Structure 1
């Protein structure tokens, strides 16, 4: 090649490389400008996006700005969760990010109508759960989003019909709409690959489409008007076409039925009176059983004395049987419990507990619940079977249950040593010694392990326990803790749950009227402080929503401790006998409890981190500088940008 031609080629190559580099720089600069403009539309009171202040947001696959997800030097996602953000999600500005594929604004304070998200046609994942969005979503809100795979809108205030355009998305895999105010019927979804659908706790009615019958019943719970598989079968009254009958025909049928029922009732009454008179002359009725007396069980045709053969109807007798959720237990029936000698153990938020000493076999505990009458039989049975499959050394296993519409019975083993609450607050009355430091540490570690297991096994529950407190921790003879009353939020009537359950005393519920995946961690933190201080959490005594952040035990600990480096001894329970040289470890555990009780959910540790920190605590100090870096740990964790609690929301 001639020298002049070679020189021309090199010059052209240099120009191409120069232009390519300029284009890359321009692209990075453009994306930075887009994000800064987008930031200006937000209200960032906590200054969570402080490092969005210049430079390039991405270098290769590495993000320089918090909450930014990068690939090949371009922004492909924003994960701005738990930041207290408000304002407008400026979709038009986000159009300037051509590689954008995922957006998550979960657990913030955005409100108003649904953003015009369909303008981002290439979006694959959208997470807007647990904000304050409201109003009706237009039917065509998701039209043209042919790449959308995951859509999470749970825990908002959306109302009206479920948008019909959702049924047309060809790649949709996950749809989470629970905890809103959607009305009308569940539409027929055409997608055959739909892996997750959750429309629970809305105001939907009518039959569930047959194509969704294989979904878990919990996906449809909390909608009183829904029927059909996997819920209860639809009755003729549930069918919309039946409701269109004329009012005159309905009234005529009602009058005929009422007349027939009146005659039948009159005849049955006469027969019953004659039979009762005959029975009273020939046989003396057996006295009520011990448990029936103490629990004030009424027979009402539900609890009958004697053998099931007493009933002339085999199916009716079947209704008296307990449903066992564990195959490794010796079976007994309801009659055995009702005949057993009974002892009242106490009355909790939801009802009374009784110790029933079976004639043959161990003593059992029967808990009576009246706050579950909104849950259907199939849904209740499915959830009980789910709880029955749980196996962990720090969980008290459910043994059996009994279903009635008005009330439910849950049966579990009797634990002789009683509850942790009694050891912390009533030992003087019992004449037993207080728990020492090693035992209290053992209890905390066991409870944390049990709670972590619930998080792993019940991932669909926002608060897998929901009611963690010292009276729901039982102690074995070796003082191993057994956590009880877990996993009940899905079957407790919502109005009762909000009034009574511990999860609804949390700061996030008092402030924002919602619970989160970290609510049970707050409950664990309060329990740790209760164990170490010996003080009962005052806000647990509040009914309904009377409590406040100022009532909780964490606030008291912080006020007593002040800003001093040396924490005052009165913070710890005087009855707690500590080994010499364990003060540092006690303080370490106390600070772990406080970190679990952070009012700001973003700063609160996640479950994995809590268990790791608790496992590091020992009975005796191993290092004089045991926690010198404690204050800086939150900064280190914040720099990671992503929380383990919500890592599952990052789409692939």
Structure 2
């Protein structure tokens, strides 16, 4: 069913009769969910998804009824958790097609007559435990460093090797020594020649589907938590090269593809388009490590290679304080990798909906973020005047905050290169009212609708539930909720608790918050004729102040002679006469 998102184990825990859980063949990503909370589970099927990461050793601890565990064809790495090998009733185990490493643990079940047992196509190594020597050899295929029965490959040494000093040997005579030195020189010279020839050839990439994984050095991971991005490639293709294509001249050749792939990295998140990593890359020019964001896009085959290159260069030419700059990209037929600068404070969504639930974002900071977002969006409108959706995916998780909490938009301008069917299901612009009845009629005001939803999200702290729906079935849940609360009286009842601390100081900021709330509603108008365009939205947002007595700046992105003036609480909303949806409507007036 192409399901994705978060598997809420806590909700599943409430289903006391749940004994089998299967999401085989979907699009779930991220780490292994904590299924061990559901101790009565008998069968778990997660195969053919995009789960990744290391599975904790105790991930299956206490699941004494579990009989079937199918995790095949994901991107799990690290050691096979010992708690799997200790499941007392295990009858089926399929871990094939992952990147599990290290030794196979000892299986301690009393009866080892598995109905299904498959560890093939991983990176396991060492001697197969004696308890598994009666399994079919195909269960271990594709692990080239495994040895021992039932495989035909014998082990030259046990996994736990002890080293001893060798006993003294007689000194070689002069003739033998000359032969040894000559052979060594020839071998070294041959190796250098091969490396020189290979170094002059272009690096070629995979002809097959490329699987991006996190390849972990186990000892390093346990001490530092560092991970490395590795692209597994097979079957070199003459048509493609392994270059990192820089789109900004000032960053050209600051690092290369191999340097990026070797960099220590961590997963920042997974979404409907792919995964996002933070990579610490060594800058060849400065000699210092710098943080970069690597976004992997799986479904970006809407255009050919030449058109894709041209569009990426156009995105790379954009320059604005409120855009996260695109630095480079890597092209493959099945996967595209975009490299951006790093925002030190993470995404706006994390601050609004993370552990702190936005409580650290006070009103001045939220206002600064909204103004920056509006300026960045307005810039995109000027740079893509003929494109209906200059951003296309504006939402809180695509607003990155720098060290000063200045917002930077990301994933902008990608509509022309996205697969249309995937864009219709997942991109924020296609959750708008005009796209809600499978008409897909995005307009030049659709990005403004996304801006309005973002304003309401920032003020209320509520996540827009309509973004979770896939395909045209949509209703403006967040806007409707705000409408329901304030339609009788415009009050601060809807505001997030994190904003309330400032509002309760009675310093005149509540009126400014209400102004911004009305602006958000005008940007979310279901009626396109009444919905503001980007120019009017930017103008009104710039007029909002931290409090009623603040001197505000008349902002002009292209004018150095900006003026300052007092802004009154006049008839700010004379143009928008009403807010409507399927159920109700009410008038908007300047003093309502």
Instruction: Return the TM-score normalized by structure 1.
Output: 0.48
SS of structure 2 residue aligned to 1:482: strand
* 1:538 to partner: Cα distance: 0.5
Deviation digits for residues 46-105 of structure 1 (CA, Å, limit 9, x no counterpart): xxxxxxxxxxxxxxxxxxxxxxxxxxxxxxxxxxxxxxxxxxxxxxxxxxxxxxxxxxxx
1:632 to 569, 574, 584: 574
SS of structure 2 residue aligned to 1:634: coil
Deviation digits for residues 304-340 of structure 1 (CA, Å, limit 9, x no counterpart): xxxxxxxxx9x78x81110100001152211111111
Other-structure match for 1:340: 263
CA distance in structure 1 between the aligned counterparts of 2:423 and 2:520, rounded to whole angstroms? 25
Other-structure match for 1:237: none
Other-structure match for 2:25: none
Other-structure match for 1:493: 419
Other-structure match for 1:539: 466
Contact 1:291–1:338 (CA under 8 A) maintained in structure 2: no
Contact 2:213–2:230 (CA under 8 A) maintained in structure 1: no
Other-structure match for 1:526: 453
Contact 2:415–2:423 (CA under 8 A) maintained in structure 1: yes
Distance change >3 Å, CA 536–CA 433, structure 1 → 2: closer
Contact 1:395–1:482 (CA under 8 A) maintained in structure 2: yes
Name the structure where strand makes up a greater proportion of residues.
2
CA distance in structure 2 between the aligned counterparts of 1:289 and 1:462, rounded to whole angstroms? 33
* 1:517 to partner: Cα distance: 0.2
Other-structure match for 1:158: none
Contact 2:323–2:409 (CA under 8 A) maintained in structure 1: yes
SS of structure 1 residue aligned to 2:282: coil
Other-structure match for 1:324: 246
Distance change >3 Å, CA 635–CA 491, structure 1 → 2: same
Name the structure where helix makes up a greater proportion of residues.
1
Contact 1:584–1:626 (CA under 8 A) maintained in structure 2: no
1:397 to 312, 325, 338: 325
SS of structure 2 residue aligned to 1:451: helix
SS of structure 1 residue aligned to 2:443: coil
The alignment status of 1:373 with 2:318, answered yes or no, reads no
* 1:546 to partner: Cα distance: 3.1
2:510 to 565, 571, 583: 583
Other-structure match for 1:357: 280
Other-structure match for 2:525: 598
Q: After the TM superposition, which residues 81-100 of structure 1 pair with which residues of structure 2 at under 5 Å, given as runs?
A: none
SS of structure 1 residue aligned to 2:574: helix
* 1:635 to partner: Cα distance: 5.6
CA distance in structure 2 between the aligned counterparts of 1:559 and 1:407, rounded to whole angstroms? 44
Q: After the TM superposition, which residues 145-294 of structure 1 pair with which residues of structure 2 at under 5 Å, given as runs?
A: 291-292=214-215
Other-structure match for 1:385: 313
The alignment status of 1:505 with 2:410, answered yes or no, reads no
2:380 to 431, 437, 454: 454
Contact 2:231–2:261 (CA under 8 A) maintained in structure 1: no
CA distance in structure 1 between the aligned counterparts of 2:242 and 2:215, rounded to whole angstroms? 14
Contact 1:292–1:338 (CA under 8 A) maintained in structure 2: no
Other-structure match for 1:212: none
Q: After the TM superposition, which residues 437-476 of structure 1 pair with which residues of structure 2 at under 5 Å, given as runs?
A: 437-476=363-402
Other-structure match for 1:199: none
* 1:455 to partner: Cα distance: 0.1
* 1:530 to partner: Cα distance: 0.4
Contact 2:432–2:474 (CA under 8 A) maintained in structure 1: no
Other-structure match for 2:408: 482
CA distance in structure 1 between the aligned counterparts of 2:368 and 2:431, rounded to whole angstroms? 26
CA distance in structure 1 between the aligned counterparts of 2:329 and 2:497, rounded to whole angstroms? 41
Deviation digits for residues 202-239 of structure 1 (CA, Å, limit 9, x no counterpart): xxxxxxxxxxxxxxxxxxxxxxxxxxxxxxxxxxxxxx
Contact 1:292–1:298 (CA under 8 A) maintained in structure 2: no
Higher radius of gyration, 1 or 2 = 1
Q: After the TM superposition, which residues 138-149 of structure 1 pair with which residues of structure 2 at under 5 Å, given as runs?
A: none
Other-structure match for 1:58: none
SS of structure 2 residue aligned to 1:479: coil
Deviation digits for residues 401-427 of structure 1 (CA, Å, limit 9, x no counterpart): 011111100001121210011111114
Contact 2:274–2:297 (CA under 8 A) maintained in structure 1: yes
The alignment status of 1:426 with 2:354, answered yes or no, reads yes
Deviation digits for residues 547-605 of structure 1 (CA, Å, limit 9, x no counterpart): 224xx2111001011222x42x3300011232521100000000000000000111011
* 1:622 to partner: Cα distance: 3.9
CA distance in structure 2 between the aligned counterparts of 1:555 and 1:290, rounded to whole angstroms? 41
CA distance in structure 1 between the aligned counterparts of 2:543 and 2:323, rounded to whole angstroms? 22
SS of structure 2 residue aligned to 1:633: coil
Contact 1:522–1:597 (CA under 8 A) maintained in structure 2: yes
CA distance in structure 2 between the aligned counterparts of 1:445 and 1:475, rounded to whole angstroms? 13
Other-structure match for 1:560: 485
Contact 1:291–1:341 (CA under 8 A) maintained in structure 2: no
CA distance in structure 2 between the aligned counterparts of 1:486 and 1:336, rounded to whole angstroms? 26
Distance change >3 Å, CA 574–CA 289, structure 1 → 2: closer
Structure 1 alignment gaps of length 5 or more: 1-280, 303-312, 637-652
Q: After the TM superposition, which residues 6-85 of structure 1 pair with which residues of structure 2 at under 5 Å, given as runs?
A: none
Contact 2:229–2:261 (CA under 8 A) maintained in structure 1: no
* 1:341 to partner: Cα distance: 1.0
Other-structure match for 2:231: 297
Q: Report how many residues are paired.
A: 334
Contact 2:329–2:338 (CA under 8 A) maintained in structure 1: yes
* 1:375 to partner: Cα distance: 2.0
CA distance in structure 1 between the aligned counterparts of 2:319 and 2:577, rounded to whole angstroms? 37
CA distance in structure 1 between the aligned counterparts of 2:212 and 2:509, rounded to whole angstroms? 52
SS of structure 1 residue aligned to 2:458: helix
Other-structure match for 1:413: 341
Other-structure match for 1:225: none
SS of structure 2 residue aligned to 1:632: coil
CA distance in structure 1 between the aligned counterparts of 2:329 and 2:294, rounded to whole angstroms? 9
CA distance in structure 1 between the aligned counterparts of 2:460 and 2:320, rounded to whole angstroms? 28
CA distance in structure 2 between the aligned counterparts of 1:301 and 1:338, rounded to whole angstroms? 19
* 1:633 to partner: Cα distance: 3.0
* 1:428 to partner: Cα distance: 2.3
Instruction: Return the TM-score normalized by structure 2.
Output: 0.53
CA distance in structure 1 between the aligned counterparts of 2:382 and 2:215, rounded to whole angstroms? 39
What RMSD, in angstroms, separates the aligned Cα atoms of the two structures? 2.8
CA distance in structure 2 between the aligned counterparts of 1:394 and 1:371, rounded to whole angstroms? 26
Deviation digits for residues 168-222 of structure 1 (CA, Å, limit 9, x no counterpart): xxxxxxxxxxxxxxxxxxxxxxxxxxxxxxxxxxxxxxxxxxxxxxxxxxxxxxx
CA distance in structure 2 between the aligned counterparts of 1:394 and 1:629, rounded to whole angstroms? 30
SS of structure 1 residue aligned to 2:338: strand
